[in-house]
Amino acid sequence: MNHFNLFVLLPFCIVTETLSVLCFKRGVNEDENNPADVNFVMMILTKPLLWLGIVLWGAELIAWIHVLETTPLSVAYPLMSLIYCAVPLAGKFILGETLPPRIYIAAILITVGVALVGSTGA
């Protein structure tokens, strides 16, 4: 198992996936005055934040493929589940979304599960 992939590229994947989701969310909501019948493809083509999200998604895909070359899937995939913690928290702190208590509980449970997988030494 390559330590660069585990300690640099996997966190990079988590951060870029989180940022791409934020870009997608903010991009589709940045102009709420758009009429409902706006062509979806035209909306994508004209929103820079959506393009940034696509670029980040592509960067994450390349890094993820590199991680999979040397890291067992039984380690890499559970670590990527930290996205399920990062995205709601980023939504709260960056987009100002409200999180119910069950989301915090779920984030704690996911983090404990990831820690258990990581402690197996796989």
Q: What is the pLDDT of residues 41-64, one digit of tens each?
A: 777 788 999 999 999 999 999 999
Q: Read off the pLDDT of each residue in 27-42 and give the average, rounded to a whole number.
A: 71
Per-residue pLDDT, 46: 86
Which residues of 1-122 form beta strands (DSSP E)? none
In this prediction, residue 32 carries a pLDDT of: 63
* Six token digits for residue 16: 């870029």
What is the rounded distance in angstroms from the CA atom of residue 117 to the CA atom of residue 86? 18
What are the start-end ranges of the H helices in 1-122?
3-4, 10-29, 40-46, 48-70, 73-80, 83-95, 101-118
The residue ranges of every structural domain in the chain are 3-118
Could you count the other beta carbons within 10 Å of the beta carbon of residue 19? 20
Confidence at 34, pLDDT banded by 50, 70, 90: low
- Confidence at residue 48, expressed as pLDDT on a 0 to 100 scale: 93
pTM for this entry: 0.87
Share of the chain above pLDDT 70, in %: 92
